[in-house]
């Protein structure tokens, strides 16, 4: 009997060692987002253990301890993965991007504007500085204007009001609402809102600057490339601002604005793509593919959190009714 114990024990040690080795690099990612990204890439790309380990080392090296939230994280990972992945693995990674013709620079096609998030942030800032009495007045004001806006939309739907007339009335309503909000605030509160806006813009710009610095380093960009990159972005920004101003003044309609913006950003992507060599474009494309996958995991977590919050509120409400 004893003569079987040593061979069996040795086999168990080998098996355990193999299992630990297989999990060595993939099980110590301390972020759920990174772990999900790693698992998804491993499965979709059919990565071998050595390829998975190499990828997870990069994710760990640049993302451990919350560093995956820092500017330029994905540029660092993409630069290393450019050398790690085979051409076949890259082809799979880029498959959805190529099918949907996703631009390398800027948002995805048809991506919604961030103005909605910006508006919510500003409304939250405003509500947070109000006194309790002001909050009651503000809520009543918003309910009133919400009904007025809905009434205009309903009139357009049933044909009793033209879109052009509705547009003018909507503009007048927005101006009236803004005037009432301004009248509700004290001078100190207005100053606080302006400071909050300035702080947000400064934080956003600092993030962009840091991310760009990492990008320049990861791609090994020359001074000429950086200059051309900045010029192309500024040109597109100026053109977009001019179009938004035209739309604001009523010189162009929404459809014309959308079509014109598409042309501006298509031209920008073409100019930016022409700046880089094949190796740099490979890194840029990997980074874009990783960014799209990371956003998917973040948005799914946000949806789960919101659903959980609503569920808890519902349970709390049912208990209070009981």
pLDDT of residue 13: 40
d(CA 184, CA 178): 10
Residue 315 lies in a domain: no
- What angle do helix axes 132-158 and 163-184 make, rounded to 10 degrees? 180
Is residue 74 in a domain?
no
Determine the pLDDT at residue 7.
46
For 50, counting Cβ atoms within 10 Å of its Cβ (0-12 exposed, 13-18 middle, 19+ buried), the class is: exposed
Residue given tokens 């993302």 in the structure block: 63
The token pair that represents 65 in the structure block: 């301890």
Q: Is residue 104 part of a domain?
A: no
Domain count, the chain: 1
DSSP 120-136: HHHHHHHHHHS-HHHHH
In Å, what is the CA distance from 243 to each residue of 1, 232, 235, 246, 280? 86, 17, 13, 5, 32
Token pair of 86 as six digits: 């085979």
Six-digit token string for 170? 């909507």
Cα 310 from Cα 306, distance rounded (Å): 6
Q: Is 87 part of any domain?
A: no
**Among the listed residues 266, 269, 307, the one whose alpha carbon sits nearest the alpha carbon of residue 285:** 269
Distance CA 282, CA 133 (A): 57
Does residue 238 lie within any of the structural domains? Answer: yes
DSSP 66: G
Q: Answer yes or no: is 246 within a domain.
A: yes
Tokens 């995956």 — which residue? 68
Cβ atoms 71, 207 nearer than 8 A = yes
Distances (CA, A) of 170 to 25, 113, 173, 174: 57, 20, 5, 6
**pLDDT tens digits along 92-123:** 999 988 888 888 987 544 444 444 456 567 78
CA-nearest of 75, 98, 107, 97 to 266 is 107
The answer as to whether 49 is a domain residue is no
Cα 55 from chain centroid (whole Å): 23
- Name the token pair of 209: 């600057």
* Residue of 162, 137, 133, 167 whose CA lies nearest to 149: 167
- pLDDT single digits (tens) 29-46: 888 888 898 899 999 888
CB neighbours of residue 164 within 10 Å: 10
Nearest to 66 by CA among 32, 27, 24: 32
Q: pLDDT tens for residues 208-217?
A: 999 999 999 9
Q: Is residue 287 part of a domain?
A: no
- Low-confidence residues of the chain: pLDDT under 50: 1-2, 4-27, 108-116, 302-303, 305-306, 318, 320-322
Domain of residue 242, residue span: 222-275
Q: What pLDDT score does 310 carry? A: 52
> How many residues are listed for the chain in this entry?
322
Asked if 273 and 232 count as a contact pair (C-beta separation under 8 A), the reply is no
Q: Contact, 108 vs 269, CB < 8 A?
A: no
Alpha-carbon distance 251 to 248, whole Å?
Answer: 8
């Amino acid at each position: 009997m004893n003569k079987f114990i040593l061979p069996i024990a040795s086999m168990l040690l080998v098996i355990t060692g193999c299992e630990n080795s297989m999990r060595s690099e993939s099980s110590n990612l301390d972020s759920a987002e990174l772990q999900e990204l790693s698992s998804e890439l491993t499965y979709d790309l059919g990565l071998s253990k050595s390829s998975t380990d190499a990828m997870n080392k990069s994710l760990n090296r640049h993302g451990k301890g919350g560093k995956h939230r820092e500017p330029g994280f994905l540029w660092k990972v993409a630069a290393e993965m450019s050398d790690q992945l085979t051409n076949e693995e890259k082809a799979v990674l880029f498959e959805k991007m190529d099918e949907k013709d996703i631009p390398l620079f800027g948002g995805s096609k048809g991506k919604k504007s961030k103005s909605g998030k910006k508006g919510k942030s500003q409304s939250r800032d405003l509500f947070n500085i109000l006194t309790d009495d002001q909050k009651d007045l503000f809520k009543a004001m918003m309910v009133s204007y919400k009904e007025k806006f809905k009434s205009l939309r309903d009139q357009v739907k049933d044909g009793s009001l033209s879109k052009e007339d509705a547009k003018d009335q909507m503009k007048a309503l927005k101006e009236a609402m803004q005037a009432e909000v301004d009248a509700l605030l004290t001078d100190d509160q207005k100053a606080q809102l302006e400071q909050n806006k300035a702080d947000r813009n400064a934080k956003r710009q600092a993030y962009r600057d840091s991310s760009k610095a990492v990008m320049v380093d990861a791609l090994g960009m020359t001074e000429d490339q950086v200059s051309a990159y900045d010029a192309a972005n500024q040109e597109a920004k100026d053109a977009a601002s001019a179009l938004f101003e035209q739309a604001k003044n009523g010189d162009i309609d929404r459809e014309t604005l959308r079509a014109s913006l598409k042309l501006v950003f298509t031209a920008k992507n073409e100019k930016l793509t022409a700046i880089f060599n094949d190796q740099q474009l490979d890194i840029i494309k990997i980074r874009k593919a990783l960014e799209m996958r990371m956003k998917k995991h973040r948005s799914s977590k946000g949806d789960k959190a919101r659903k959980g919050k609503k569920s808890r509120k519902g349970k709390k409400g049912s208990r209070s009714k009981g």
